[in-house]
């Protein structure tokens, strides 16, 4: 029983991290039709920016996080939009897919060449150890990760639903042209989504890296998981990405223990294929009117 609770908590906490990456991914898709194949690297890079800040400037983890947040929002948010997405706005989906694949390779190689090819230890922001709640014990780190992720997700939801800018962003996501006619500053809102994506990725980096260590190729599996979470949950809705992330996190943890570790990574993929074939709008997404 205690095992299952522990597994559940750790599953939800990993899932919350996946959800952060998946939600950013969904935001970009909704507002600009960008399928970011470099999303995993968008999580990998901020971890190294934090490491670099801590090593070179000799600052603490929190300051390093803030520095990384700013740098990421400039590089992975604004610059990514300006230099790559904007010029390709009318080229169709495929060239941009190729460009983000190339961007991912570029980021990986840059980190490998200029920082290190070896996995780097990364300080956890929460103390190790377990906490007893009644009869079960759960890891403090898991709880802390979960708490931070939940706060971030709630803040994002509040921003999207309660603030004027947030509602404008949703309007842009749903229908860009109508939003423009209604006087929404579409370009600025799109920029916001790129900034938010970068921020979510940086936060995900802070939460995920202590477990996996910082390595240049971390993004490969993380990016894949973010896709899967976004699609399984429902590509057209933020809460779909959230639910998808949590689900994949749980599946990941439970299959590792109860099913073979060899095919651990296969389960989310099979889920992905089944969902795409039989429920393309995602488990939690809205169905769109389908033609024959």
Partner 1 sequence: MNAQGFKRLALAAILAVAILAPLGLKNYGVYLLSLWALYAIAAQGLNLTLGYAGQISLAQAAFFGIGAYISALATTAGMSFWLALPLAGLACFIIGALIGFPALRVQHHYLAFVTLGFNVLVFLVLRNEEWLTGGTYGVANIPRPALFGLSLGGPLAFYYLCLALLVLMTAMFWHIVRSPWGRAFAALRDNPERAASLGISIVTYTLLAFAIGSAAAGIAGAAFAPLVEYIDPTPFTLSLSLAFLLMVVVGGQGTLTGPFIGAALVTLLPEWLRWTEGYYLMVYALAVMVLMVVCPSGLTGLFDMARRRWERSP
Partner 2 sequence: MTQALFDARNIARSYGGVTALNNVSFAVFEGEIVGLIGPNGSGKTTLFNCLLGQLRADGGTVRLRGRDVTGWRANALARAGLGRTFQLLQVFGGLSVRDNLIVAAQEHIATLARRLFAPRTLGLDEQVEAALERFRLTALGDAPAASLSYGQQKLLDLAMALMAEPDIVFLDEPAGGVTPSMLDEIGEILLTLNRVTGTTFAIIEHNMDFIMELSDRVVVLAEGEVLTSGTPEEVRGDERVIEAYLGG
- Contacts with partner 1 by CB under 8 A lie at 29, 35, 83-84, 87-88, 91-99, 101-103, 105-106, 109-110, 112-113, 220, 224, 227-228, 231, 262-263, 265-266, 269-270, 272-273, 276-277, 280
Cα separation, 5 vs 145, in Å, equals: 16
Q: Minimum distance from CB of 174 to partner 2 (Å)? A: 17
Beta strands in the chain (DSSP E): 130-133, 136-139
For partner 2, give the closer residue by CB, 93 or 147. Answer: 93
177: burial class by Cβ within 10 Å (0-12, 13-18, 19+)? exposed
Q: Which window, 82-90, 224-232, 248-256, 284-292, contacts partner 2 (CB under 8 A)? A: 284-292
Binding of partner 2 at residue 277 (CB under 8 A)? Answer: no
From 229, 234, 224, select the one nearest 248 (Cα to Cα): 229
Binding of partner 2 at residue 90 (CB under 8 A)? Answer: no
Q: Minimum distance from CB of 37 to partner 1 (Å)? A: 8
Q: What angle (nearest 5°) sits at the alpha carbon of residue 199, between those of residues 198 and 203?
A: 120
Count the neighbouring beta carbons within 10 Å of the beta carbon of residue 271.
18
DSSP state for residue 63 in the 8-state scheme: H
For partner 2, give the closer residue by CB, 255 or 281. Answer: 281
Q: Minimum distance from CB of 33 to partner 1 (Å)? A: 9
**Residue 105 interface partner, choices partner 2, partner 1, none, CB cut-off 5-8 Å depending on type:** partner 1
Binding of partner 2 at residue 291 (CB under 8 A)? Answer: yes
From 275, 274, 282, 16, select the one nearest 142 (Cα to Cα): 16
């Amino acid at each position: 029983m205690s095992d299952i609770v522990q597994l559940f908590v750790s599953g939800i906490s990993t899932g919350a991290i996946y959800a952060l990456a998946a939600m950013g991914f969904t935001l970009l898709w909704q507002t600009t039709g960008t399928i970011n194949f470099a999303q995993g690297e968008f999580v990998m890079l901020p971890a190294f920016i934090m490491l670099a800040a801590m090593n070179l400037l000799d600052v603490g983890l929190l300051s390093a996080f803030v520095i990384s947040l700013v740098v990421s929002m400039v590089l992975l948010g604004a610059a990514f939009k300006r230099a790559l997405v904007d010029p390709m706005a009318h080229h169709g989906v495929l060239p941009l897919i190729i460009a983000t694949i190339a961007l991912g390779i570029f980021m990986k190689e840059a980190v490998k060449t200029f920082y290190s090819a070896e996995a780097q230890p990364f300080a956890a922001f929460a103390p190790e150890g377990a906490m007893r709640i009644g009869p079960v014990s759960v890891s403090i780190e898991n709880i802390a990760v979960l708490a931070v992720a939940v706060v971030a997700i709630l803040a994002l939801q509040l921003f999207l639903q309660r603030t004027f800018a947030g509602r404008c962003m949703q309007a842009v996501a749903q229908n860009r042209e109508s939003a423009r006619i209604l006087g929404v500053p579409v370009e600025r809102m799109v920029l916001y989504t790129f900034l938010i994506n970068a921020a979510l990725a940086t936060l995900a980096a802070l939460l995920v890296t202590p477990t996996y260590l910082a390595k240049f190729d971390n993004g490969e599996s993380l990016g894949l998981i973010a896709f899967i979470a976004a699609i399984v949950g429902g590509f057209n809705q933020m809460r779909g990405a959230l639910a998808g992330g949590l689900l994949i996190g749980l599946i990941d943890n439970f299959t590792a223990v109860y099913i073979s570790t060899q095919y651990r990574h296969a389960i989310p993929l099979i889920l992905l294929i089944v969902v795409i074939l039989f429920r393309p709008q995602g488990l939690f997404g809205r169905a769109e009117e389908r033609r024959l």
